[in-house]
A and B are shown apart, each in its own frame.
Chain A
Amino acid sequence: SQKIEQNSEALNIQEGKTATLTCNYTNYSPAYLQWYRQDPGRGPVFLLLIRENEKEKRKERLKVTFDTTLKQSLFHITASQPADSATYLCAFSGGYNKLIFGAGTRLAVHP
């Protein structure tokens, strides 16, 4: 079955460093991947979308890569700030507009 995996362990980094989160998928070839941010007690908020024919997408301090050979997407936050602390979810298309989500990785940026 389609499966999407994110590192379940929290990622702790120092302010100013680059945070890198990993999303791996199996048994599927998605047309696109999306990344969302989720704060406690709130619904996810869309950040970036990358299509299968795109290698990299950037938005301000965010960068996403999509490697269809490795079946992996990397999400980078450069010059991280404590306000970036949240859970980050990756999701891929599962038919129609249906999204299949990973469990998310919690990021903690320390001053």
Chain B
Amino acid sequence: GAGVSQSPSNKVTEKGKDVELRCDPISGHTALYWYRQSLGQGLEFLIYFQGNSAPDKSGLPSDRFSAERTGGSVSTLTIQRTQQEDSAVYLCASSRTGTGGLYNEQFFGPGTRLTVL
């Protein structure tokens, strides 16, 4: 079956504009995660969804960042009033279960490379 897909693959925007990044998880995966990876850095956790709810938003760096998930499937990460420090690769991952499924591997998408000029 299809893996995790993300769109767009690349996004170049001007400082101050809003951007939306999309993630399509693997069908049937109830858990969905967003991470951010800056050049030469590890992955920084942003937010975790179990179904349509987000029990852990602790990684969102500011109130300019928000995310939603609808129908237990597609998720959108929105960054308002983008800043240059938001430039990074945004990765989405999904896994089979959420709470109680502590040992599940995460399946990652290819990421969206965001460049804020």
Contact = CB atoms under 8 A, between A and B. Distances in A.
Nearest to A89: B42
A43 B102 contact: no
Contacts, number: 70
**Most chain-B CB neighbours within 10 Å: which of A4, A42, A44?**
A44
B48 A45 contact: no
Interface in B8-66: 31, 33, 35, 40-45, 48, 50, 55-56
Given A32-B103, A96-B55, A104 B42 contact: yes
B45 A97 contact: no
Interface residues of B, number: 30
Interface in A1-60: 4, 6, 31-32, 34, 41-46, 49, 51
A98 B42 contact: no
B72 interface: no
Contact of A44 (B44, B104, B108): B108
Contact of A101 (B42, B48, B50, B99): B42
Interface of A: 4, 6, 31-32, 34, 41-46, 49, 51, 89, 91, 93-104
Interface of B: 4, 31, 33, 35, 40-45, 48, 50, 55-56, 91, 93, 95, 98-99, 101-111
